[in-house]
Structure formats: C-alpha cells, structure tokens
Amino acid sequence: MAKNGSATCFKRTYENALRLLETRRRKVRPKHVANAISNPHATDKTYTEARSSLRGTPSITGMRNWLQKIGYTDNDVAALNIVHVAGTKGKGSTCAFTQSLLQEWGKRTGFPTKIGLYTSPDLTCIRERIQVNGQPISEDLFTKYFFEIWDRLFTQEDRIVGDDERQPRYLQFIALLAIHTFSREGAQAAIFETHHGGEYDATNVVSAPVVTGITSIGLDHLAQLGPSIEDVAWHKAGIFKNGSPAFSAPQLPAVETVLRSRAVEKGVQFEVVPVNPSLPLHANVLRAPVQRMNCSLAIALVNAFLSKKSPSEETKLSDQDIARGIENFSWPGRFEVIKTSRCTWFLDGAHNELSIGQAVEWFAGMTMASSERDVFQQTSPCMIIFSHMSEERDGPSLLRALATAVERSDIRCSEMVFTTYQERRDGKIRPDKTLKPPENSLADLPKQYCDLWRAIHPAARTRYIPSIEEALGYAHSASFQSGGLQVLVTGSLHLVGGALYLLQQWKTDEH
C-alpha cells in the first residue's frame, strides 16, 4: 500500500476498498468514564468544554468540510429527506421499521420509490450498513462510490502532508459514503441511525432532517457520553433541529426531563409516543414487547414524514400499510428466529444490561407453550450461548444481568456455553468481516464467565468453547440427545453476526 492509504497503486476492487477503509480505524478509544457535568440544564458551552477536554475530538469535527470536499452542501443533504434516529436500545430496529413502513407507502402511492437506510454495526458484511430499498448495496456499487469519495478526500497534497487527523476516520468515512451513495442513487428518503451519541456524532452533520426520533435510553458508551443517564440523554437529544418535529419512546422521568428541556432549548415540537394499540397482536416480529414500542415510534416518524413530504393529499399510513410493513419487516440478529434440522436458534445481539433483559424476556415468551405459540415445544430443553469481549463495557456486569433475567423469567436452561468472537475453528476470517480481534487482556474473559456463572449457580453446567463454529456445532450435537434444542445466542452483535453467518451457510448446505 502507498503511504497514508493512497489508492494510487491500487486496482479499484472491492477487496482493496475494504483494505483502504481499514486504514481509517482509530487506534484507541477513550477508556475512562467521562467526568462531565450531570446538570441537564447546563449550557452548550459547558458541555462542549467537558466533551472536548475529556473525551477526545468530537466525531462531528470536520464532517461539514469533508462533505463540501466531496461536493455536497447542506441543501444537498436536506434533499435526501432524512429521518434521524438516536437512542441506546432499538435504534436499528426502529430505523428498519421506518424503512419497511415507508416502502409500503411508496409501493401504494409512488413516493418514495427509493429509500436509503444507514445503520451500524454490520453483522455479516460491511455493505449492510448502506442499504437501498431494504437491500445492501452491491459490491460493485460500494467499490465505485468508495473510490469516488476516497480520491476526493485523499488528494496528493494530503498524502504528502501525511496528516491523518485531518481526514475522516472509519465511521466518519462510512457516513460520508452513505450520503454520497444515497445522492447518486436518487434516494427520495433516507433513514440515518446515529453511531453512539447525537450532539457530537458524525451523522449529526445532517442539519435539516424531516423528523427525528429517540429510542429507549440507558447507560451505555459512558466513556463518550456519561457518566450519568442525564448526560447520555443530553447527547442523544443533540439530533433535535429547529423546524423538525421530534418523537421519543417512553423514557425514565429523568431522561424525559432532559429531552423536553433540550427540545425547548432548540425550539422543537416534542412528543412521547406510547405503544400503538392498533398493532397486530400475534405478529412474530412483535413478540418482543420492545419491538412493539420500536414499531410504534416508527409509525409516528413516518406519519410526521408524510405530513411534510407526501405529494398527495393523503398524509397518514393506512392500517394496510402498517400491516404489510410489519409483515415484510426484517432486521437480522435482533429478535431473530432461525430453524435448522434439530435446533431452533434465537438470536439477539443484546450487549448492555437494558437489552439483555429484553432478549431473555423475548426468549422466554417465544419458548413458552400456549395456543398462540404451538410451533414450539415446551418439552425441548434450552441452551444459552454467550460472549462479550469489550474494553468499553463491563462484561461480568452484563453476565450478572443475564443471570437475573434468566431467574426472573424462570427459564430452565440445561447448559451455558461461553465462547469468543472467533468465527471458525481454523481461525480463517472472511473478507467482509469488520471486527478486529479484541485486546489480549480480554482473551481469558470467556473462561472467567464460566467461573462467574458457577458462582451464581453452583449446580449449573457450563462449558467454554473457543470458536463460534464449534459452539454452534456443540449445540447441534446436544440436540440429538434431547430430541431438539432451543438455543439463545446473545451478549454481542459480534457473536450474533458470526452465528448468523454460519447458520446461513448451514441452511444453504441443508438445501
């Protein structure tokens, strides 16, 4: 590779685009919990000083300049008709529901015919982050648009100077790539999920969204957004823009207070959305209570979007639009069920204490025998496969939250299996896989989880298995002894992404 990531000596291939993109990953993240002011009524200046002094360079820094450099103005971005979504849990699902509902409206009315969806992280390939009409863009399109903006951002002068800090990092680049892709593809609407925060998030370069939404807020990414939940809420509400209505899922009182305060500060019409009572009762994708909330928020976002942008006199989703949007909804790795020959796999990438409880509640509900769930057998034993390896979050605390949720749900789990993020037993890494190996200091965590689980449940059966492929294989083998097995795979999107990729390969082989 040429110095500083130059593509001059590279063929314009998909594989080389991925290699160049990898050079934009930053080497380290902030490792200490931020010590910001917790007062939700603190001034922008106070919070800006705390953010810049304690948490590194804000991700929003440079984004507007880079947008101009690749040829876009604020008006060009506004022309994408963006729905902007922030929150702690449910951002991706809410964005996917929004996309599905808008797509059904577009099929019936002729607008919008092309809808962009930008989310992160990806589960099985990088292109999942940039979708058009519910499908990841092709390798050819990714490659074409990647090099179009790479060559504009990394000029010969920049390579000579060699100042990487003046160029976009990994997530910043992908956000720019999404804007470029949606513009070139003629998207008439685009849904953008924030990365971590809001106020200083790279996606907040969107200065005039049509509408904004906030999903459930909890304590997560505290090194960047904390230390208190009020601080987290302040950051998430940074996507509010004057002239754009804002909607939120129900929140803790302290969080709602901050959101309302920020809405007043920014001159934004703000509304908390309850669960929509007209949602179908028995839709599989709404089995998890939190998904009913995410879908309700998406309905509010789409109706607000249509009230401002619909070219027809009709400006509200019909019951049929909603029913079809839910029926055609898909969001891999979140409350997903996959059936193979002898196992039913329940996958949810829960990676914080709020979401792990929701995952267990969903799993318990789905495996409970009733007239509404007769496709599952109550007598089938269950197993849980868990992994979480991160310096940003407290893995043992997450595991304790899992144990509490399991006890509360009265799940009879025959065995706990702990594994790593290594997908294959031979260690081979697929080209599209974006996860980097965790730090060496985390290598022993899965084995420690075995000890911690036995300390919580002394009689429990636990097992450490070094790769996801072997963990899935072990569960499959165990199913022969029990006549079937129900397996919850949770704890990390990285674990679930690997499991999903392997299970898809299995299903392909079965057919």
Angle at 285 between CA 280 and CA 288, to 5 degrees: 90
On whether the CB atoms of residues 463 and 415 are closer than 8 A, the answer is yes
Judgement on whether residues 201 and 303 belong to the same structural domain of the protein: yes
Mean residue pLDDT of the chain comes to 87
Predicted pLDDT at 483: 80
Q: pTM, whole model, 2 decimals?
A: 0.88
Lowest mean pLDDT among 34-38, 62-66, 219-223, 293-297: 34-38
Judgement on whether residues 46 and 190 belong to the same structural domain of the protein: yes
345's tokens = 């796999």
Judgement on whether residues 141 and 277 belong to the same structural domain of the protein: yes
Q: Tell the burial category of 508 from Cβ atoms under 10 Å away from its Cβ (0-12, 13-18, 19+).
A: exposed
Indicate if the pLDDT at residue 113 is higher than 70: yes
Question: For 10, left (φ over 0), alpha (ψ -120 to 50), or beta?
Answer: beta
The more confident residue out of 204 and 43 is 204
7's tokens = 């593509």
Predicted pLDDT at 225: 76
CA distances from 138 to 108, 132, 230, 388 (A): 26, 10, 41, 31
Lowest mean pLDDT among 362-366, 436-440, 466-470: 436-440
Q: Which residues make Cβ contacts (< 8 Å) with residue 439, sequence separation at least 6?
A: 391
Tell whether residue 355 is among the known ligand binding residues: no
Judgement on whether residues 254 and 310 belong to the same structural domain of the protein: yes
Which domain CATH number covers 484?
3.90.190.20
Tell whether residue 334 is among the known ligand binding residues: yes
Judgement on whether residues 263 and 386 belong to the same structural domain of the protein: no
Using one digit for the tens of pLDDT, what is the confidence trace for 131-176?
999 999 999 999 999 999 999 998 755 554 445 557 999 999 999 9
Tell whether residue 394 is among the known ligand binding residues: no
Question: Of the segments 217-221, 338-342, 382-386, 437-441, which one has the largest average pLDDT value?
Answer: 382-386
Q: How confident is the model at residue 449 (pLDDT cuts 50, 70, 90)?
A: very high
As for how many domains the chain has, the answer is 2
The more confident residue out of 226 and 490 is 490
Of 283, 301, 327, the one marking the end of a domain is: 327
Query: Prior bond to 112 cis, omega within 30?
Result: yes
Predicted pLDDT at 367: 82
Judgement on whether residues 319 and 383 belong to the same structural domain of the protein: no
Lowest mean pLDDT among 73-82, 154-163, 245-254, 354-363: 154-163
Residue 220 structural domain = 3-327
Percent of the chain with pLDDT over 70: 84
Judgement on whether residues 353 and 425 belong to the same structural domain of the protein: yes
Judgement on whether residues 219 and 99 belong to the same structural domain of the protein: yes
Percent of the chain with pLDDT over 90: 68
Residues in the chain: 511
Judgement on whether residues 304 and 344 belong to the same structural domain of the protein: no
Judgement on whether residues 366 and 397 belong to the same structural domain of the protein: yes
Tell whether residue 22 is among the known ligand binding residues: no
Tell whether residue 180 is among the known ligand binding residues: no
Q: How confident is the model at residue 222 (pLDDT cuts 50, 70, 90)?
A: low
The more confident residue out of 10 and 333 is 333
Indicate if the pLDDT at residue 50 is higher than 90: no
- Give the sign of the dihedral formed by CA 502, CA 505, CA 510, CA 511: positive
Judgement on whether residues 234 and 301 belong to the same structural domain of the protein: yes
Judgement on whether residues 432 and 307 belong to the same structural domain of the protein: no
Tell me the C-alpha distance between 246 and 214, whole Å: 8
Of 327, 351, 382, the one marking the end of a domain is: 327
Listing DSSP states for 420-459 in one string gives -S--STT----TT--PPPPPGGGTTHHHHHHHHHHHHSTT
Using one digit for the tens of pLDDT, what is the confidence trace for 407-438?
998 888 889 999 999 999 998 887 777 666 66
Predicted pLDDT at 226: 66
Using one digit for the tens of pLDDT, what is the confidence trace for 480-494?
887 889 999 999 999
Of 307, 327, 347, the one marking the end of a domain is: 327
Which domain CATH number covers 135?
3.40.1190.10
